[in-house]
Amino acid sequence: MKSAEYQAGLAGYVRARSRLVLKLSEAGVTDPRVLAAIKNTPRHVLIPEILRVRAYQDRALPIGEGQTISAPGVVGRMTQALRLKGHERILEIGTGSGYQAAVLSHLVESVVSIERIPDLADTARQHLAGMEIGNVKIFVGDGTWGRPENGPYDGILVTAGGPAPPKPVLLQLRVGGALIGPFGPRDRQQLVRIVRRDRTRFAQEVLGDCSFVDLIGEHGWAA
Ligand code: SAM
Ranges of each domain in the chain: 4-210
In this structure, are residues 114 and 136 in contact, taking their beta carbons and an 8 Å threshold? no
Q: Choose which residue among 45, 59, 67, 69 to substitute to test ligand 1 binding: the one with the highest number of ligand atoms within 8 A of its C-beta.
A: 67
Q: Choose which residue among 51, 128, 215 to substitute to test ligand 1 binding: the one with the highest number of ligand atoms within 8 A of its C-beta.
A: 215
Global confidence as pTM:
0.96
Domain 4-210: homologous superfamily in CATH? Vaccinia Virus protein VP39 (3.40.50.150)
Q: State the CB neighbour count (10 A cutoff) for residue 68.
A: 19
70 is a catalytic site residue:
yes
Does ligand 1 come within 6 angstroms of the Cβ of 160?
yes
Ligand 1 atom with the shortest distance to the CA of 63: 5
What is residue 185's DSSP assignment?
S
CB proximity list for 174: less than 8 A, separation 6 or greater: 151, 152, 153, 154, 196
Q: Give the Å distance between the CA of 64 and the centre of ligand 1.
A: 12
* pLDDT tens, N- to C-terminus, the chain (223 residues): 456 566 545 566 889 999 999 999 999 999 999 999 999 999 999 999 999 999 999 999 999 999 999 999 999 999 999 999 999 999 999 999 999 999 999 999 999 999 999 999 999 999 999 999 999 999 999 999 999 999 999 999 999 999 999 999 999 999 999 999 999 999 999 999 999 999 999 999 999 999 999 999 999 999 9
**Choosing from 70, 97, 105, 113, which is the catalytic residue?**
70
Paired with 115 in beta bridges are: 140
CB proximity list for 51: less than 8 A, separation 6 or greater: 61, 62
